[in-house]
Amino acid sequence: MPEFLLEVGTEELPALDAPVLARALGDRLAQALREERLGFSGMEIHWTPRRLAVLVRGLAERQADLVEEVRGPAAAVGLDSTGNPTQAALGFLKKYGATPQDLKRKVVGEKEYLFLEVRTPGRPAQEVLQELIPDILRSLPCRKTMRWDSSGVAFLRPIRWLVCLLDNEILPIRYGSLTAGRITRGHRFFGPRELALNSPAEYVEKLREARVIADPRERERMIRDAAKGVEGEYGVRALWTEELLGILVGSLEWPSPVLGEFPGEFLDLPTPVIAAVLHEEGKFVPFARDGEPAPVFLGFRDGKEDEKGYVRQGYERVVRARLRDARFFFENDRKRPLAERVLDLREVVYEARLGSVWDKVQRIREICKRLVDPLGLDGEQGALLDRAAFLCKADLTTEMVREFPELAGVMGGIYARLSGEPEEVAVAIEEHLLPRTRADELPESTLGTALSLADKLDTVMGAIIVGEVPTGSRDPYGIRRAANALVSLILRKRLVVDLFGVIDAAAEFYPRIPEGKDKHTVKGFLVDRLRHVLRDDFGVPHDIVEAVLAVPRGDFLGVLERAQALASLKRDAALAELAQIFERLRNITKDHGSTAFDPGLFQKEEEQELWREYLKAEGKVRRALTERDFAGALKALLPLGRPVHRYFEKVFVMVEDERVRENRLSFLKALLSLFLEIGDLSVLAV
């Protein structure tokens, strides 16, 4: 069975985009082969910064034949009374080069028709591939496209060569100004510039000889192993981030470790500062020993080990220079206590309509005050929280944060400690930007959690109130991310807080402008983010999400817990029964307001029965709700299904007698309100 290789040779692709494009190339080729009825037994995807490649094994030599049934004239028209073909049928046969024996009869709808089975023979794979590949290349999803010549082709970075081989035969596809051949390129500095491939099978090994590791997993292993080697030898631990690893794998064709050291005099810099310097400048891997920074780092040169040691010298010089800068910033920043910097925030614009960062800090403090009671903080904690809120943005004026924006918050904590602020305050500042995204780590301390909540709520609320509601992919203020992080914080930290109450209480601190939105838009926006987080991060099924969000609530954790209660009982037959009558209950009471009823006016046995069950259930439900036992509340509601069914069977609600009718409606409305304490059960797919 033939093998097929497609390699797209490029100038250096952005490190984190190359894997996305390589996967897309594989997916699209596989899909196209299936659509074209070209079977294959396996597919390998390889990529480096300079190439995307897909290797197809066991490819069919030809497409499978296509067999289609084609409908001709109706049997009554196509055949005469003796069953012989008429002119109409003969024309049909001629068109497909068939004979009368090939005709089949088949009933479609009310009528019988003549059919032919038409077989289109499969075309050779090489022919089909040559048509497919340019379209596949054109369809690759680039984050941003560019042009590099006047051929009209656009891609993420210039495409400079194409290899397209079916076994040892070139498929000379054309794309832009290129024609595919068998020539690939080796490593930029340590391989041959041009390298002829005889067949797809030798791709990986030939490139290895040319100093290129085509398989990204192998490169990742090499990088991790190098770091492990350092860990073992020095008794240290590598400070990895996903991004750092991704960038290294994505920017090297042959990772060659270069170990560097920096002078111990820099070790008095805080670990996050040293890590930021090393991560930023050329993507070095930092190490730590027992939480303290270690004076070694690992860089990766592309291609070959650093025999002469020049690369190491260069790396060390760059790192020294940057650490010297960082120490300069650190020493300058420490000359003023953090609290003194807060006033400078008046000069730092946050947003034209929302004022300076100082104004933002004042709003955060107001929100924090409104979180003291809900979060059960005592007076002393409340005062510490206010102090932390007062100081939390002061580090924006430091040189260190201007140079390394990702250290915002972290530096605030460090400088707060150095300024003699209480430890709780320092920790809260340090943690107040966590989680940055919904998957990020959470603040550990209570005060850090409260401050984070207040900061994020202000960000979201401020932007929306001045009219910056994100639409589509447009979200200039990053509100979606902030709101997702806020929702995630509440749910993952299991915070019992009525967000709507806090929003209402804080609304007065925001400007009112004509094109702005109100606090209801803020609530609606947050509920919508809650919907996404419930579905994507907590795996709550769509119908349950909609059921629990039918009644908007500011207690987001309660919404999650209701959803989990519903999910745990989803298979319960009683729940299905309730879901079935729910809509009727809701519709019949739609225009009715009151829930005050008089049992004395009940006439039917079924009314009495439902009332008794209702009373039993209501007590249990209310008790369970105060204890936040939502599963308990739901279980208490389940026995109502049967009597409600019987009620609707036997009791006619809309009677002539107005008093009886209104009373029945009020009773049903009360019943509905009780159900809605959990959610709108009618949307459940049970």
Partner 1 sequence: MRAEQKRVKTFQDLILALHEYWRDQGCVIFEPYDVEKGAGTFNPATFFGCLGPDPWRVAYIEPSRRPTDGRYGENPIRLRLHHQYQVILKPPPPDIQDLYLGSLEHVGIELRDHDVKFSEDDWESPTLGAWGVGWQVWLDEMEITQFTYFQQMGGIDLDPVSVELTYGLERIAIFLQGVESAFDLNWSADVKYGEIWHEKERQFSIYNFERADVERIRKMFELAEAEARACLEAGLVFPAYDHTLHCSHLFNVLDARGAISVAERESYIARVRELARGCAKGYLKLLEERRARVLA
Q: Which is nearer to partner 1, 245 or 601 (CB)?
A: 245
What's the closest the beta carbon of residue 159 comes to partner 1, in angstroms?
10
What's the closest the beta carbon of residue 9 comes to partner 1, in angstroms?
11
Rule CB under 8 A: say whether 352 interacts with partner 1.
yes
Q: Which of 206, 301, 341, 531 binds partner 1 (CB under 8 A)?
A: 301
As a dihedral over the C-alpha atoms of residue 345, residue 347, residue 349, residue 352, rounded to 10 degrees, the angle is 130
Q: What is the number of alpha carbons within 13 Å of residue 346 lying toward its C-beta?
A: 3
Q: Would you state the structure tokens that stand for residue 117, as one six-digit string? A: 């089975």
Q: Give the range of 27-35, 53-61, 319-327, 616-624 binding partner 1 by CB under 8 A.
A: 319-327
Helix (H, G, I), strand (E, B) or coil at 48: strand
Rule CB under 8 A: say whether 284 interacts with partner 1.
yes
Rule CB under 8 A: say whether 315 interacts with partner 1.
yes
Q: Give the range of 6-14, 237-245, 436-444, 487-495 binding partner 1 by CB under 8 A.
A: 6-14
**Segment 476-505, which members bind partner 1 (CB under 8 A)?**
none
**Segment 238-277, which members bind partner 1 (CB under 8 A)?**
251, 258
Rule CB under 8 A: say whether 347 interacts with partner 1.
yes
Q: Would you state the structure tokens that stand for residue 383, as one six-digit string? A: 């005062």
Q: Which is nearer to partner 1, 101 or 150 (CB)?
A: 150
Q: Which is nearer to partner 1, 85 or 286 (CB)?
A: 286
Q: Give the range of 92-100, 206-214, 305-313, 620-628 binding partner 1 by CB under 8 A.
A: 305-313
What's the closest the beta carbon of residue 253 comes to partner 1, in angstroms?
11
Q: Which is nearer to partner 1, 72 or 299 (CB)?
A: 299
Rule CB under 8 A: say whether 317 interacts with partner 1.
yes
Q: Which of 34, 111, 138, 147 binds partner 1 (CB under 8 A)?
A: 147
Amino acid at 627: E
Rule CB under 8 A: say whether 157 interacts with partner 1.
yes
Q: In whole angstroms, what is the distance from residue 612 CA to residue 647 CA? A: 12
Q: In whole angstroms, what is the distance from residue 597 CA to residue 618 CA? A: 15
Q: Which is nearer to partner 1, 76 or 321 (CB)?
A: 321
What's the closest the beta carbon of residue 275 comes to partner 1, in angstroms?
16
Q: In whole angstroms, what is the distance from residue 80 CA to residue 66 CA? A: 31
Q: Give the range of 185-193, 390-398, 442-450, 498-506 binding partner 1 by CB under 8 A.
A: 185-193
Q: Which is nearer to partner 1, 146 or 439 (CB)?
A: 146
Q: Would you state the structure tokens that stand for residue 536, as one six-digit string? A: 């994507």
Amino acid at 13: L
Rule CB under 8 A: say whether 99 interacts with partner 1.
no
Partner residues linked to 158 by β-bridges: none
- Under 8 Å between Cβ of 378 and 493: no
Q: Would you state the structure tokens that stand for residue 171, as one six-digit string? A: 């498929």
Rule CB under 8 A: say whether 281 interacts with partner 1.
yes
Q: In whole angstroms, what is the distance from residue 490 CA to residue 485 CA? A: 9
Q: Which is nearer to partner 1, 228 or 317 (CB)?
A: 317
Residue 670 DSSP symbol = H
Rule CB under 8 A: say whether 335 interacts with partner 1.
no
Alpha helices of 140-282 — where are they, by DSSP H?
A: 203-209, 216-234, 242-251, 271-280
Query: CB atoms < 10 A from the CB of 532, how many?
Result: 15
Q: Give the range of 156-164, 428-436, 438-446, 580-588 binding partner 1 by CB under 8 A.
A: 156-164
Q: In whole angstroms, what is the distance from residue 438 CA to residue 534 CA? A: 11
Q: In whole angstroms, what is the distance from residue 289 CA to residue 234 CA? A: 9
Q: Which is nearer to partner 1, 320 or 334 (CB)?
A: 320
Alpha helices of 102-241 — where are they, by DSSP H?
A: 125-139, 203-209, 216-234
Rule CB under 8 A: say whether 310 interacts with partner 1.
yes
Q: Which of 34, 144, 217, 512 binds partner 1 (CB under 8 A)?
A: 144
Q: In whole angstroms, what is the distance from residue 170 CA to residue 133 CA? A: 13
Q: Which of 43, 62, 148, 639 binds partner 1 (CB under 8 A)?
A: 148
Q: Give the range of 312-320, 376-384, 445-453, 608-616 binding partner 1 by CB under 8 A.
A: 312-320
Alpha helices of 334-420 — where are they, by DSSP H?
A: 338-341, 357-369, 379-391, 399-403, 410-418
Q: In whole angstroms, what is the distance from residue 236 CA to residue 544 CA? A: 48
Rule CB under 8 A: say whether 346 interacts with partner 1.
no
Rule CB under 8 A: say whether 150 interacts with partner 1.
yes
- Under 8 Å between Cβ of 10 and 159: yes
Amino acid at 347: E
Rule CB under 8 A: say whether 117 interacts with partner 1.
no
Q: Which of 94, 308, 474, 494 binds partner 1 (CB under 8 A)?
A: 308
List CB contacts of 593: < 8 A, sequence separation 6 or more: 669
Site string for partner 1, 206-245 (x = CB under 8 A): ----------------------------------------
Rule CB under 8 A: say whether 15 interacts with partner 1.
yes
Rule CB under 8 A: say whether 174 interacts with partner 1.
no
What's the closest the beta carbon of residue 338 comes to partner 1, in angstroms?
21
Q: What separation in angstroms does the CA of 323 have from each of 152, 265, 317, 319, 330?
A: 46, 10, 10, 6, 10
Q: In whole angstroms, what is the distance from residue 227 CA to residue 283 CA? A: 13
List CB contacts of 658: < 8 A, sequence separation 6 or more: none
Q: Which of 39, 73, 246, 314 binds partner 1 (CB under 8 A)?
A: 314
Site of interaction with partner 1 (CB under 8 A): 11-15, 17, 49, 144, 146-150, 157-158, 160, 188-190, 251, 258, 281-284, 299, 301-302, 304, 306, 308, 310-311, 313-315, 317-318, 320-321, 324-325, 347, 349, 351-352
